[in-house]
Amino acid sequence: MTGELSPIDKAKFVAAKRASDFVEDGMRVGLGTGSTAAWLVRCLGERVRDNGLKIRGVPTSTRTAELAREVGIEVISLDEARWLDLTIDGADEFDADLALIKGGGGALLQEKIVATASDQMIVIADAAKEVEHLGAFPLPIEVIPFGWQTTQALVEETLVSMDVMGRQATLRMNGEAPFVTDEGNHILDLHLGRIGNARQLAMVMNQIPGVVENGLFIDICDKVVIGFGDGRVETRDINEGTVSEDRLDFVETDNLFSDI
């Protein structure tokens, strides 16, 4: 129940709830991965159940696909959808230009493919995700398992000429074994501290053999919906140059959120 949530979870919930209002009947919707995106899936599931909303969702991970089916959303593949009306996803960091770091949940490859196959991308986040400069959150890059240590060395060598503060790359682990993405790849987390030129870094990283994709999302996000622990929600539209604010009230009631 929403009244039992921590302030950070309330912020995530109100951002997701507000963003769900942008979803209309008949839409093909990209469904993101992560804790904030999970709130969105549940909000949409509630509308499907209670209001008869008819949408088709394209999930960006097996975790999201399982949750979407659980709450009653019709799940299809991106190949079946071909193109999407809207993708809503979370972010690990975003700046004033709505450039993002994503991939903390390990689904950056599918997330970027789905987001770029959409008419519009909306990011939902709590206020703590906004930064002046990207890079405090480690930048994930997805690499193929073959020769990953060589790829890591090439990445660290390349970072010497980039406008970043740090150059350490670490293999993401899942317990004592390397983390494995839905595509069977590994994740290298780049501890950069601060990224001076995100656009340049994104292009250069993707030129390194073994790198599949990086977690910098540049010129992809159209809107960001920012939630606050007191129920306030701020929506920024980078294309329209507008900022709007409203507030969502919390109601103690049994619903799709009662098991969170």
**Residues carrying an active site annotation:** 111
Phi-psi region of 82 (alpha: psi -120 to 50; beta: other; left: phi over 0): left
Using the CB atoms, write b or e for 173-209: b if 16+ within 10 Å. Answer: eeeeeeeebbeebbbbbbbbeebeebeebbebbeebe
Residue with tokens 């020769």: 147
Residue 25 annotated as binding site: no
- Would you put residue 113 in left (φ > 0), alpha (ψ -120 to 50) or beta? alpha
CB 258 within 8 A of CB 47: no
151 is in an annotated binding site: no
| CA dist., res. 3 & res. 108, Å (int) | 32
223 is in an annotated binding site: no
Angstrom distance (rounded) from CA 109 to CA 78? 13
Number of Cα atoms under 13 Å in the Cβ half of residue 186: 20
Three-class DSSP category at 67: helix
Does 91 show up as a binding residue in the annotation?
yes
Residue 112 and residue 142 in contact, taking contact as beta carbons nearer than 8 Å:
no
What tokens were used for 111? 């997330």
33 is in an annotated binding site: yes
Distance CA 47, CA 215 (A): 31
Q: Is 103 annotated as a binding residue?
A: yes
Cα-based distances in Å from 38 to 47, 72, 145, 157: 14, 14, 28, 37
Residue 241 annotated as part of some ligand binding site:
no
Known binding residues are 33-36, 89-92, 102-105, 129
Q: List, as residue ranges, the binding site for substrate.
A: 33-36, 89-92, 102-105, 129
